[in-house]
C-alpha cells in the first residue's frame, strides 16, 4: 500500500469516527452499582396465579435523547422466560399512556436483559418524567427483578400494581429498594444538519486527497 492510499484510509477512518460519535448511545438513567452490580435480592414480577404483581419505575432524563434500549437484571423463577416491556408517560404522578412497546433481546435466565423498541423509538424530553414497566402476562410464570443496593423509594417514584385484579384500584407505593434498571439513548443536542455538514467535509477531504494523488501520477 503506497503513502497516498494510507492517507485516504486514515481520512475514511476519521470520517467513520465522527459519524459513530453522533450515533453513540449514552446512559440517561441508571441505579446499578459499579459494574452492573445490585443487592442480590429480588422482587417477583408475577402472573395472575402467582400474585399478579408488576412494576413501573420512574426516571427523568436530564438531556433530550432518542431512546435506544433499557437494561434490567432479571432471574427466571418459574414458567415462561419472557416479559412485556413498555415505556409510559406520567399522568398526575402515576404511570400513564404507553409511548413505546419494548421487546427483550434474549430469553430471561439469570443476568442482564436488554429491552429495545419494537418499532420507532421515542424521543425522551429532558426534565420530563417517564416510567419503565415490566409485566408478566402468563398466569403461571414469575420472574425476579433484582433490587438496587443504593436507590430507595421515597414514596412517589415507584408503583407496584396488580396486573389482573383491577389495576386502577390497586396502585400503591412500596418502600425499600427499587429494582435495578438503566435507560440509554442517543442525544438530540447535535442537529442533523450539523452531522451532515461534518460528513460532507470529511468526504470532501477524501475526494481532494484522491484528486491530488491522481494528478501526481498523471504528471
Each residue of 94-141: pLDDT tens digit? 888 999 999 999 999 999 999 999 888 999 999 999 999 999 989 999
Query: Quick one: 123 and 194 in the same domain?
Result: no
Q: 90-94, 95-99, 163-167: which range is least confident on average?
A: 163-167
Query: Quick one: 41 and 126 in the same domain?
Result: yes
Mean pLDDT, to the nearest integer, of 163-186?
72
Q: What pLDDT was estimated at residue 215?
A: 56
Query: Quick one: 60 and 74 in the same domain?
Result: yes
Please name the residues in contact with 184: beta carbons below 8 A apart, sequence gap of 6 or more: 25, 26, 27, 28, 67, 68, 69, 70, 71
Query: Quick one: 138 and 212 in the same domain?
Result: no
Query: Quick one: 115 and 164 in the same domain?
Result: yes
Mean pLDDT, to the nearest integer, of 209-218?
57
pLDDT band at 78 (very low <50, low <70, confident <90, very high): very high
Q: Give me the domain span that covers residue 194.
A: 1-24+189-219
Nearest Cα to Cα of residue 148 among 202, 73, 85: 73
Check residues 119 and 195 and name the one with the higher pLDDT.
Answer: 119
CATH number at residue 108: 2.60.120
Q: What pLDDT was estimated at residue 150?
A: 87
Mean pLDDT, to the nearest integer, of 7-36?
66
pTM above 0.85, yes or no: no
Query: Quick one: 183 and 167 in the same domain?
Result: yes
Query: Quick one: 145 and 59 in the same domain?
Result: yes
Number of domains in the chain: 2
Q: Distance between CA atoms of 67 and 117, rounded to whole angstroms? A: 8
Q: Distance between CA atoms of 36 and 53, rounded to whole angstroms? A: 25
Q: Distance between CA atoms of 93 and 112, rounded to whole angstroms? A: 28
Quote the radius of gyration of the chain (alpha carbons, Å).
23
Residue 196 has pLDDT above 70, yes or no: no
Q: What pLDDT was estimated at residue 24?
A: 61
Contact between 159 and 56 under an 8 Å Cβ cutoff? The reply is yes
Amino acid at each position: 500500500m503506497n503513502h497516498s492510499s494510507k492517507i485516504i484510509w486514515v481520512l475514511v477512518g476519521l470520517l467513520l469516527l465522527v459519524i459513530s460519535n453522533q450515533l453513540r448511545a449514552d446512559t440517561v438513567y441508571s441505579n446499578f452499582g459499579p459494574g452492573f452490580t445490585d443487592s442480590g435480592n429480588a422482587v417477583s414480577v408475577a402472573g395472575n396465579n402467582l400474585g399478579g404483581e408488576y412494576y413501573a419505575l420512574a426516571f427523568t432524563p436530564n438531556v433530550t435523547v432518542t431512546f435506544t434500549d433499557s437494561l434490567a437484571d432479571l432471574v427466571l423463577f418459574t414458567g415462561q422466560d419472557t416479559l412485556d416491556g413498555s415505556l409510559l408517560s406520567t399522568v398526575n404522578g402515576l404511570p400513564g399512556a404507553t409511548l413505546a412497546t419494548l421487546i427483550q433481546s434474549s430469553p430471561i435466565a439469570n443476568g442482564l436483559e436488554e429491552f429495545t423498541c419494537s418499532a420507532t423509538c421515542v424521543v425522551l424530553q429532558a426534565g420530563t418524567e417517564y416510567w419503565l414497566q415490566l409485566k408478566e402476562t402468563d398466569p403461571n410464570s414469575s420472574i425476579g427483578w433484582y433490587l438496587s443496593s443504593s436507590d430507595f423509594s421515597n414514596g412517589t417514584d415507584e408503583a407496584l400494581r396488580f396486573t389482573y385484579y383491577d389495576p386502577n384500584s390497586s396502585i400503591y407505593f412500596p418502600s425499600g429498594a427499587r429494582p435495578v434498571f438503566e435507560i440509554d439513548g442517543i442525544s438530540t443536542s447535535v442537529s442533523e444538519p450539523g452531522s451532515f455538514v461534518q460528513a460532507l467535509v470529511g468526504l470532501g477531504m477524501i475526494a481532494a486527497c484522491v484528486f491530488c494523488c491522481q494528478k501526481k501520477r498523471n504528471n
